Structure 1
Amino acid sequence: MGFRFSKRIQIMPGVRLNLSKSGASWSLGPRGASISIGKRGVYGNIGLPGTGLSWRERLDQPNSRSSEDTDRLPTRIRPQVPETVTARLVNDEVQFFDDAGNPLVSALIPSAKSAMKDDIRALLAAQEAERNGQIDALRMLHHDVPHGVQQIYPVTSGKPQRERYGSHGEYMQALMSWHAAIANACSADDQVADKLLENLGTLQWPAETNIMVSLQAGRLLLDVDLPEIEDMPARRWKAIVTRMAIEAKPISQKDLAALYRDHVASILLRLIGHSMASSNAIRSVGISAYTQRTTATGHLADEYVATVDVTRSAWNGVNLARIGEIEPDNLLRHLGAKLEANSRGTLMLQVPLT
């Protein structure tokens, strides 16, 4: 609807003939308020006398609007789709962000879900694999065992030679200094132990690992403080694509006990492998591993739960190139380890090595 201008010719009081480019129509009613009938329909008119201005409203289709009127209605503002939409995991749920890093408006989220469904599925699957991979890695600590053995050169090399000195006195003085250096230097076992500690100190461990080292005449004894079973992760992760989230699922007590046992086995094999690789001077490795548990009397105490004693010849029989394919518990059993659990999965007491 709107204002228009037209030319009118009065025929008789109350009845007028309206002329316009679109044709003629009859108008009934007093001046200023009338009803017109023509080929375009029935209209109600309200005019302003003396001005030639009028307001029209179609009466035979009260719920419809002319195309001209519809074009003049304000258009509802719709949110614009950004050029880039990013899906990120926030508090274990997928959320969408625009190219400026702002959260995507809710009206655009259904479209983003539909367009990015494959990417969302891949994101959740990657998160599930990464988080569960950190748990599974507790069983794989021994996968980094070296295949070769390092060489340690003794300080006894470089003994003074007589022909290099101009006089016997100079030679004797150099020889005495060399013997003094040998006396003040570490023994061969001390050198090997230092190299062993250096190698073990560079390794990354999931939890603090305390080790007491004793080396004498090529026999290495390690006293190892194991992590507690309470330190093990008690949940695994599951991607829920329909909810666009990743959820933590509790691990059963049986699976938790199996995880802890495998973790202990992996620790023992890692220590054996890196110890043997430190020097050929190490002829055997004995490990006694303990954990702090509540005893039958209710007191916390260190209890030995695993022991293993491996000679170099036995270790040389292991195909270290395929160490990642070997079940750690089976390998330890083959090497004569004492690592046993009761029906509840609790590791049983063992007598430490001496």
Structure 2
Amino acid sequence: MEINTEAAYREACGRWTREKEAHQAAEQTRQHLMRQAVGGNIHAMEVFLETALSDIAWPRETLVSFELQEGGVRLVFDVDLPEIEDMPTKTAVVPQRGYKLSVKDLSATKLQQLYAGHVHSISFRLIAEAFALLPTVEVVVLSAYTQRVDPSTGHDADQYLLSVRVQRSQWGFINFGALESIDVIDALDRFDLRRAMTKQGAFKAIEPF
């Protein structure tokens, strides 16, 4: 079967042009939405933040809802965390000699510490996104919960693990140029924080803000 290279070329050019125009239109819409959000338009702020958060690829299922309050000055997050059972339970170590990986089970303490770091990292990321994307927001309140068995009923129930309230002026003291040196657990300790966590990383339920 003979291929009409000229027709194929014209079709490819037409497809590229259509895709370019669609991209430019989407970018213009995004820029317009961003300008409105930066200017404090509540609807634009909601759409802009929701779009940005939907682009985050969480390593475990994480459901985020939010509400803008007080004319867009206060932002409240409610975060449905992954459960500790969703975390990896094994670790792989490369020996100094040889090529065979050594796979070991994580201890209960290591698993708790891994989960604690993950919970605080999610919270830190969401607060950072909020302040970076929405300049009119001055206060972020974030409460994060998971599902655990209620011993009084035997059914799963939502239990809040941490709740934190952060002022923009406080957040500004964090050096984002040295993120690799920041411990997110210690970082959230700087703010108005409700959390009952042992040194081993085990959480107890708390009452959120």
* TM > 0.5 fold call: yes
Say if 2:61 is the partner of 1:208. Answer: yes
Question: Which residue identity does 2:189 align to in structure 1?
Answer: R
Q: Which has the higher helix share?
A: 2
Report the AA paired with residue 247 of structure 1: S
**Would the aligned equivalents of 1:276 and 1:282 in 2 still touch at CA under 8 Å?**
yes
C-alpha distance in structure 2 between counterparts of 1:262 and 1:337, whole Å: 16
Structure-1 residue corresponding to 2:77: 222
Mapped pair 1:237 → 2:92:
yes
Cα deviation, 1:113-142, whole Å, max 9, x if unaligned, reads xxxxxxxxxxxxxxxxxxxxxxxxxxxxxx
**Structure 2, unpaired ranges of 5+:** 1-32
Match of 2:133 in 1: 278
Deviations 1:59-104 (A, max 9, x none): xxxxxxxxxxxxxxxxxxxxxxxxxxxxxxxxxxxxxxxxxxxxxx
Whole-angstrom distance in 2 between the partners of 1:336 and 1:324:
23
* Closer, same or farther: CA 242–311 of 1 in aligned 2, 3 Å: closer
What is the match of residue 151 of structure 2? Answer: 296
Output the CA distance in 2 between the equivalents of 1:343 and 1:321.
28
Q: Residue 207 of structure 1: CA displacement?
A: 1.4
Q: Which amino acid in 1 is paired with 2:205? A: L
Partner of 1:308: 164
Distance of 1:200 and 1:219 partners within structure 2: 17
Contact 2:113-2:200 within 8 A present in 1 as well: no
Change (3 A) 1:281 1:265: same
Residue number in structure 2 paired with 1:153: 35
Contact 2:36 2:45 in 1 (8 A): no
Residue 296 of structure 1: SS of its match in structure 2? coil
Q: How far apart, CA to CA, are the structure 2 residues paired with 1:196 and 1:308?
A: 19
1:276-319 Cα distance to aligned partner (Å, 9 max, x none): 11121111111110000112222211111110111111111211
CA RMSD of aligned residues (A): 2.2
Deviation of 1:256 after TM superposition, in Å, equals 0.8
Q: Counterparts of 2:98 and 2:36 in 1: how far apart (Å)? A: 64
Change in CA separation of 1:344 and 1:203 when aligned onto 2, cut-off 3 Å: closer
In 1, the alpha carbon distance for the partners of 2:206 and 2:65 equals 18
Report if aligned partners of 1:152, 1:279 keep a CA contact under 8 Å in 2: no
- Aligned: 1:336 with 2:189: no
1:345 to partner: Cα distance = 4.0
Specify the SS of the correspondent of 2:207. coil
Pair 317,242 (structure 1): closer, same or farther in 2 beyond 3 Å: closer
* Distance apart, 1:330 and its partner CA: 0.6
Hey, what's the Cα distance between the residues in 1 that align with 2:97 and 2:168?
A: 54
Aligned partner of 2:144: which letter?
A: A
1:198 equivalenced with 2:51 (yes/no): yes
CA distance in 2, matches of 1:199, 1:319: 23
Number of residue pairs aligned between Structure 1 and Structure 2? 173
Which structure carries more relative contact order (alpha carbon 8 Å, separation 6+)? 2
CA distance in 1, matches of 2:171, 2:199: 31
2:120 paired residue number: 265
- Once the 2 structures are TM-superposed, how far is the Cα of residue 340 of structure 1 from its aligned partner? 2.6
C-alpha separation between the residues in 1 aligned to 2:161 and 2:46? 25
1:272 deviation in Å? 0.2
Which structure: larger Rg? 1
Q: Summarize deviations over 1:145-197 as a string: whole Å, max 9, x none.
A: xxxxxx94239x9xxxxxxxxxxxxxxxxxxxxxxxxxxxxx81121111111
State the alpha-carbon separation in 2 of the partners of residues 152 and 195 from structure 1.
7
Counterpart AA for 1:191? A
Task: State the partner residue of 1:254.
Answer: 109
